[in-house]
Chains A and B, each alone.
Chain A
Amino acid sequence: MHAQFLRHTLLASLILSVLAGCAGKQAGSDAPAPKAKAMAVTATPPVMPVPGPIDPTISNCNVTPPNTPVTTALLTSGTPCQPQFVAPFDLDNLQHGFDYYSWLTFIALNAPSEGAAPTPGADADTQWQQFREVSDLMLPGGAAPGPWDGPRVVPDACNGIPDAASMRVVQRTALNKGGTHPIEVTSEVTQPFDSGPLIDQNGNFVRYEILVNRPMFEYIVQNKLYSKAGQSAFAGPVQFPEGNVVSGSTGTMGAIMVKAAWKVMGRGDDPSRFHTTPALAYNPPSENPKIPESCKAVVLGLVGWHAAHKTSDAPQWIWSTYEQVNNVPSDADVARSNLQPPYNFYDPNCKPGQCPVNETPPRPWNPDIQPFPNGFKSQITRVTALTDATVALNNSFRAILANTVWQNYELISTQWPTDAESVVDPTGVPAPTFLANTTLETYTQGTVPKASSSCMDCHNDAADTTGRASDFTFILERAR
């Protein structure tokens, strides 16, 4: 009895190997072959650069099978174009394959360049931080974003800060059920609702950014999906490119989104335990609550990290989620008094009456007032504990990351479609059914269908500004 998942995997590989060279079914594959690297515009009228392929064939897909012993050799094995699997193809072992894939992806994207090992230092550079942040993609007036390697847009309010141009701009302070909506939209009709900001032990707001890799960027830019007008003119369904291994380690990377949650390094924090970055904490102006634009230089430490990767086996994308290990205790830890403070978002000395658990801060939510008024700090626990298998895998990978800051991060789980091609369930019957990161889906943890956090269930409802399904990303609805 072979699992449905496996059938699809084998079928997909077979079809794609037959079609190799045809670039599969991804949109944009009819684009002309690249002729020359885009040149600087010097002539008038400007010559439109010929776009490169959205998702070029690469020869360095990481195809390490998940039964490979976890050794330091994996630190330089690169980014997987899609997960690999070994028998038995049952739920537990497939989950292992996806979790193993998550770790390879985490290691590779947290390295400074493809194929390098993650570097030890807390402020070490990472690949994903070079991705394009969404606020540099969905620009005011629907303007075209600059080239992939163009500079970030630094808000005027930040320009007085020394070295502003070299610092990250991190602006979001609220997450909602979809986890992706901005607070910077100033129109009062687009205020976030029914979720809330996460407040650390120093009373500071956790900040978020959302980034896309180059194939995803190119797909958006070449199809002009960065503006409302472009989305209205776009005829087809939104289909981001898929990661795929054609043969050996040759394939395509496909679209990857990363979402990062950062806390301000402050009193009581040990910055050596976090991946850190100097950043500009930018608060866009808001009408309600009335907030003027502001910008402040801070050092941020990474507390939460999502990667979502669209692959040929997982048109619902693969959702890997990580946390810094000191974020929160689980409910079970609290019940057993098995606490290991300090926590980033839990105070063991605060009684339930004073610090109700998993409770949003009182409104208004104004990131210009930090620390949060009246001493509020979030008291967060993890509702669903990690599985034993995930903990064991985490131990193996954290061991090979010893002596780097990355040993302080753990995989929470990987959500994947068990029936990816189902026509009666477009979410592909995800496993695990529910998944939440305590820094990113803080307030929707649980196990109630539709109400509790499930990456694929929620993102399945994502649409662009026209209401068209946007292929599991809420990014497109930010177009202006």
Chain B
Amino acid sequence: MTTPTAPATPMQNFVNLSALLTGIAASKLAPGIDPKNIKQTYFDYARGQDAGTFDKLLQIFSSNASQPPATIADIIFNQSGAGISLFARSIMLMWYLGSWYPPSELAKSGTGKPPPDSTVISSEAYTQGWAWNVAQAHPMGYSNFNFGYWANNPPSLTDFVGGANP
């Protein structure tokens, strides 16, 4: 999404970072014409939780944007400290589930432990959760398909999540 002439905006960095981490195409996370504008909701919400870590994460991404995705992911998850890697996971979960899982909760939880506390960001956020799209389905309680669709195969996974990563 970045152009050679203008530096990426924080929002562009946020969307591109989110696309890299979630595996969902940036054009799907943030369509060119985007009446729901959930990216802004998420940007504001995540930054509102911890502006310092949020800004640092975007900065790590933007300063490594030319690296291969695996290198960027390795930097985020393995070389930047638990604060950054957990915050990145909170952002991934936000896109997938429409909920905020605080990094501190992710640190406490794990296999065989109670699920982490979370907050549904908004009704719109829940209905835009990607976990259901990745299942080639729709959030429970929010389907735009027509009567009887369930008797047929769904659209392809690519139709839901878009093409290659940026």
Please list the residues of chain A having a beta carbon within 8 angstroms of any beta carbon in chain B: 1-5, 89-91, 94, 418-419, 423-427, 429-433, 447-450, 457, 460-461, 463, 467, 469
Contact = CB atoms under 8 A, between A and B. Distances in A.
B144 A425 contact: yes
Interface of B: 1, 27, 31-36, 123-124, 127, 133, 141-142, 144-148, 155, 159-160
Given A418-B35, A469-B146, 10 more contacts: A2-B32, A4-B33, A90-B33, A418-B31, A419-B31, A427-B144, A429-B31, A449-B123, A450-B142, A469-B147
Contacts, number: 63
A90 B32 CA distance: 8
12 contacts: A3-B33, A4-B32, A423-B155, A424-B160, A426-B144, A431-B33, A447-B124, A448-B123, A449-B124, A449-B142, A461-B146, A469-B146
A418 B146 contact: no
Given A4-B33, A91-B33, A423 B146 contact: no
A90 B36 CA distance: 14
A430 B35 contact: yes
A3 B32 contact: yes
A426 B145 contact: yes
Nearest to A460: B144
Residue of A89, A424, A427, A430 most packed against chain B (CB within 10 A): A424
B123 A460 contact: no
- A-B residue pairs, 10 tightest by C-beta: A431-B35, A3-B32, A418-B33, A469-B146, A449-B127, A423-B155, A3-B33, A427-B144, A425-B144, A91-B33
A94 B147 contact: no
Given A424-B133, A424-B155, A449-B123, A433 B35 contact: yes
Determine the main DSSP class of B at the interface with A.
loop
A94 B33 contact: yes
Contacts of B145: 426
B33 A5 contact: yes
A460 B146 contact: yes
Nearest to A448: B123
A171 B120 CA distance: 45
Nearest to A422: B159
A419 B146 contact: no
A1 B1 contact: yes
Contacts of A90: 33
Contacts of A467: 147-148
Most buried by A among B27, B35, B147: B35
Nearest to A423: B155
A433 B36 contact: yes
A461 B141 CA distance: 14
A423 B1 contact: no
Contacts of A4: 27, 31-33
Of A2, A433, A449, A463, the most chain B CB neighbours within 10 A belong to A449
Contacts of A469: 146-147
B32 A1 contact: yes
A91 B35 contact: yes
B36 A429 contact: yes
Given A1-B1, A449-B123, A429 B35 contact: yes
A283 to B, nearest CB: 33
Contacts of B35: 91, 418, 429-433
Nearest to B149: A426
A460 B144 CA distance: 8
A423 B145 CA distance: 9
Contacts of A429: 31, 35-36
Contacts of B1: 1
Contacts of A430: 35
A472 to B, nearest CB: 11
Contacts of B33: 3-5, 89-91, 94, 418-419, 431
B120 to A, nearest CB: 12
A360 to B, nearest CB: 23
Nearest to B154: A424
A67 to B, nearest CB: 19
Contacts of A432: 35
Contacts of B127: 449-450
Contacts of B160: 424
B127 to A, nearest CB: 5
A248 to B, nearest CB: 27
Given A429-B31, A431-B35, A463 B147 contact: yes
B160 to A, nearest CB: 5
A449 B141 CA distance: 9
A163 to B, nearest CB: 45
Contacts of A457: 144
A449 to B, nearest CB: 5
